Amino acid sequence: MDKIIVRGGNRLSGTIPISGAKNAALTLLPCALLTDEPLTLRNLPRLADIDGFQHLMNQFGVTTVIQGSRPEDFGRVMSLEATRITSSVAPYDLVRKMRASILVLGPMLARMGEATVSLPGGCAIGNRPIDLHLKALEAFGATIELAAGYVKAIAPDGGLPGGDFDFPVVSVGATENALMAAATANGTSRLFNAAREPEIVDLCNMLVAMGAEIEGIGTSDLTIHGVKRLHGATYRVMADRIEAGSYACAAAITGGDVTLAGAKAEEMQATLHALQAIGCEVEEVKGGVRVAANGPLKATNLTTAPYPGLATDMQAQLMALLCLAEGTSVLKETIFENRYMHVPELARMGANIETEGRTAIVQGVARLTGAEVMATDLRASMSLVIAGLAAEGETTVRRLYHLDRGYERLEEKLQLVGADIERVGDD
């Protein structure tokens, strides 16, 4: 298995191209199940999770074609065509490694009248139940059965009638599944306290491009007027705000000055505000966002929250940055209860962090030192790379399959701005 070696101390400077958003792409891909016409996605990132979802779509009989892709390019163009769906079952072998697989449940139910999906896997960052996905579909008229590790959803004869659902807590995935299921329901559906993430807006915009009728896009109350059928479309995946935020932290921890090409400031305001509080200079520039750190890093207190709050997917990266800030920082994780698994690995590099429940107290240290560390989940992996960029000596990051799920050719992008980083085969 490969490993990444980071030799710290280089100041990052230059431009990093930001890829299409993983979390958006994994929501847009299953929309191909809603139409028998071709759906073409541009700016699709080259990631293990995207490849895994492509295989899942092939399992259903969806044909997928990668257009004009060159190995040296970032991003791809993929066309998907579900002229005839040959299976409505998402098996365990394809679903177990990727939580996003549950997102085929809504569109498959809408198109075929039934769907059987294995309970999903993904990063081990805490309890991530799918009960809200199922309750929303039940509110739209589906019958749900759970047996032997599988979810089976069945629509009434004639299709889903639609309905109203009020989310007791904000859920991104459940909002996405409900949107796709409601798009072709027989009546009007309303979602209250729906997630408002930019990836939700991206999904709504693409569904509208396919002929869906959705009101309230960008708000927490969505009204979906079901249409008889959706048609094909060509759509560009939004830029990855989490990738952009991650590279912003990488620039800041090295005292660097990096432009994130393609990033949109309005989609990552909470992250940019956090960086400013830590002492970074943030500037919206033509075609992207510039982040620079010229002075000492400052401690700050951060709390994760649903959008427009600070994304839980940025907590580990910002924690790595705060390890070298002057003073004491307090981080509170409100989304997942087991998202501090990177703390012991950062401690191996000299970080001073104490955790109690969902709170982490970070006492800034003068320096970090390179060490052998183990990735535990996707964003934790990136936090170790960020720490390694500023550490004295050499840091070796193992278990790269986590990183490959969410960062397109990470080492190449960091090399573009001066990082001493390489991927090598394990001995």
Residue 99, pLDDT > 80, answer no
240 is in an annotated binding site: no
Lowest model confidence (mean pLDDT) among 105-109, 282-286, 337-341, 419-423? 337-341
Let me know: does 63 contact 81? Beta carbons within 8 Å.
Answer: yes
CB atoms within 10 A of CB 373: 26
Tell whether domain 2-18+239-425 is in CATH 3.40.50.150.
no
Lowest model confidence (mean pLDDT) among 181-185, 237-241, 268-272, 397-401? 397-401
379 is in an annotated binding site: no
- Looking from the CA of 11 toward its CB, the CA atoms found within 13 Å total 8
pLDDT recorded at residue 100:
82
Ordered DSSP codes for 359-410: EEEEE--S--B--EEE--SHHHHHHHHHHHHHSBSEEEEE-THHHHHH-TTH
pLDDT recorded at residue 186:
98
129 is in an annotated binding site: yes
Lowest model confidence (mean pLDDT) among 10-19, 176-185, 279-288, 397-406? 397-406
pLDDT recorded at residue 71:
65
**Spatial separation of the C-alpha atoms in residues 401 and 378, rounded to whole Å:** 8
Please identify every residue annotated as catalytic.
123
pLDDT recorded at residue 127:
44
36 is in an annotated binding site: no
pLDDT recorded at residue 121:
52
Let me know: does 393 contact 9? Beta carbons within 8 Å.
Answer: no
List the chain domain ranges: 2-18+239-425, 22-236
132 is in an annotated binding site: yes
Whether 22-236 and 2-18+239-425 are alike in CATH topology: the answer is yes
Of the candidates 389, 349, 385, 348, the one whose C-alpha atom is nearest the C-alpha of residue 369 is: 349
pLDDT, tens digit, 9 for 90 and up, residues 162-187? 999 999 999 999 999 999 999 999 99
Residue 244 backbone zone (phi > 0: left; psi -120 to 50: alpha; other: beta): alpha
152 is in an annotated binding site: no
pLDDT recorded at residue 125:
32
- pLDDT band, residue 123 (cuts 50/70/90): very low
**Spatial separation of the C-alpha atoms in residues 182 and 371, rounded to whole Å:** 50
Let me know: does 107 contact 51? Beta carbons within 8 Å.
Answer: no
pLDDT, tens digit, 9 for 90 and up, residues 292-338? 998 999 999 999 999 999 999 999 999 999 999 999 999 999 987 77
Let me know: does 293 contact 280? Beta carbons within 8 Å.
Answer: yes
- pLDDT band, residue 124 (cuts 50/70/90): very low
- pLDDT band, residue 95 (cuts 50/70/90): confident
**Mean pLDDT in residue range 4-15:** 98
pLDDT recorded at residue 427:
64
Domain 22-236 fold is UDP-n-acetylglucosamine1-carboxyvinyl-transferase; Chain (3.65.10)
Let me know: does 253 contact 324? Beta carbons within 8 Å.
Answer: yes
386 is in an annotated binding site: no
131 is in an annotated binding site: yes
**Spatial separation of the C-alpha atoms in residues 210 and 253, rounded to whole Å:** 43
Residue 202, pLDDT > 70, answer yes
Is the dihedral angle over the CA atoms 376, 381, 386, 388 positive or is it negative?
Answer: positive
Bond before 17 cis per omega within 30 degrees:
no
**Spatial separation of the C-alpha atoms in residues 402 and 384, rounded to whole Å:** 12
Residue 126, pLDDT > 70, answer no
**Mean pLDDT of the chain, nearest integer:** 94
pLDDT recorded at residue 73:
73
Let me know: does 60 contact 33? Beta carbons within 8 Å.
Answer: yes
pLDDT, tens digit, 9 for 90 and up, residues 135-152? 999 999 999 998 888 899
Element (H, E) at 312: none
Q: What angle do CA 141, 143, 145 make, to 5 degrees?
A: 155
Residue 69, pLDDT > 80, answer no
Residue 191, pLDDT > 60, answer yes
Lowest model confidence (mean pLDDT) among 198-202, 297-301, 376-380? 376-380
